[in-house]
Amino acid sequence: MNSLNYLSPFFETVFFKKSTYTWEDVETYRRTINTIGLVWGMQRNYNSRFSLDFESGIGYRFGKITSQSSSGQISTRTGGAMTLIININLGIWLNKRQ
């Protein structure tokens, strides 16, 4: 039940599927996108059991990119770019009041 401001390392991994359609069949690729960075945040907890957490910062997003050329050739390469990180979390405390 603390309220504070903080500076923290940030790491996030997102998994998703991407389908590529060809004349013969459908190919499904699983991708992993990683983000690493540094964020400044503030967390506030209120007597009404409401919780607010906001963080923002800068990071680097990277992952493997699978593409298909017009001739049907499939290639995979690693790519990345700088990104802005912004997260807002709202919550309600379920524990007993102290």
**Domain-by-domain residue ranges, the chain?**
4-92
Question: Which has the closest alpha carbon to 71: 37, 32, 25, 23?
Answer: 23
Instruction: Please tell me the total number of residues recorded for the chain in this structure.
Output: 98
- Quickly state the pLDDT bin for 26 (edges 50, 70, 90): low
Structure confidence at residue 9 (pLDDT): 97
Structure confidence at residue 92 (pLDDT): 92
Percent of the chain with pLDDT over 70: 80
